[in-house]
Amino acid sequence: MIARIENFRGLVTGDVDHTRRGLRPAVGLTAADASRLTRRLDWRFLLPDPHLRRVIHVGFPTVTMARALAAFSDSVMFAGGQPHARGQADLVVAEGAARQQIESVLPELGARGWLYWELRSGQTLRQADIAWLRRCGISHVRAFWHCGGFENRRWIIPLADPAGLAMFLKRRIVNIPANLLSQIADGLARSRTLHRTLAISVIGCRTPGAECATFAERFMVAQTLRLGLAPIGPGRPYILATPAFPSSRSVVFLMSPNQSYEPTLVAKIARAEADGEPLACEARNLRALHLAGADVEAPKLVSHGVFERRAILVESALPGRLMTPRVVRRQPDACIEAVTDWLAEFHRETRASGCRLPGRVMTLVNNQLNRLEPIVAQEPAAPELLLRVRRETSRLESLKVPLVFEHGDLSSPNLLMLGNGRVGVLDWELADPRGLPAVDLFFFLAFVAFARERATTPAQCVAAFRDAFFGPTAWTHPHIARYIALVGVPKTAVVPLFLLCWSRYLSALPARMAWAAGRDLRCTELQEVRRDRYWHLWKYAVEHVDDLQHPY
Q: Does residue 50 carry a pLDDT above 70?
A: yes
Q: How many CB atoms sit inside 10 A of residue 474's CB?
A: 18
Question: What letter represents residue 307's amino acid?
Answer: F
Per-residue confidence (pLDDT) for residue 264, from 0 to 100: 87
Band of pLDDT at residue 3, cut at 50, 70 and 90: very low
Share of the chain above pLDDT 70, in %: 80
Band of pLDDT at residue 15, cut at 50, 70 and 90: very low
CA-based end-to-end distance of the chain: 66
Helix (H, G, I), strand (E, B) or coil at 142: strand
- The tens digit of pLDDT for each residue in 295-317 reads 889 999 999 999 888 999 999 99
Q: Nearest CA to 529 among 551, 503, 509, 499? A: 509
Helix (H, G, I), strand (E, B) or coil at 94: strand
- The answer to whether the CB of 93 falls within 8 A of the CB of 57 is yes
- The arithmetic mean of pLDDT across residues 160-173, rounded, is 74
Q: Does residue 428 carry a pLDDT above 70?
A: yes
- Enter the DSSP assignment of 401: P
CA distance linking residue 73 with residue 171, whole number of Å: 33
Q: Which domains does the chain have, with CATH numbers?
A: 1-159+198-212 (3.40.50), 219-318 (3.30.200.20), 321-548 (3.90.1200.10)
Band of pLDDT at residue 194, cut at 50, 70 and 90: low
- The tens digit of pLDDT for each residue in 536-545 reads 999 999 999 9
Q: Does residue 54 carry a pLDDT above 90?
A: yes
Band of pLDDT at residue 209, cut at 50, 70 and 90: low
Q: Does residue 424 carry a pLDDT above 90?
A: yes
- The arithmetic mean of pLDDT across residues 372-393, rounded, is 87
- The arithmetic mean of pLDDT across residues 321-346, rounded, is 94
Q: For 7-21, 281-295, 329-343, which range has the lowest pLDDT when averaged over its residues? A: 7-21
Share of the chain above pLDDT 90, in %: 45
Question: What angle do helix axes 458-469 and 533-543 make, rounded to 10 degrees?
Answer: 40
Per-residue confidence (pLDDT) for residue 25, from 0 to 100: 41
Q: Does residue 77 carry a pLDDT above 80?
A: yes
- pTM score > 0.75 for this model? yes
* Residue 93 backbone phi and psi in degrees, to 5: -105, 120
Q: For 10-24, 259-273, 294-308, which range has the lowest pLDDT when averaged over its residues? A: 10-24
Q: Does residue 80 carry a pLDDT above 70?
A: no
CA distance linking residue 124 with residue 99, whole number of Å: 12
CA distances from 305 to 177, 279, 404 (A): 38, 9, 28
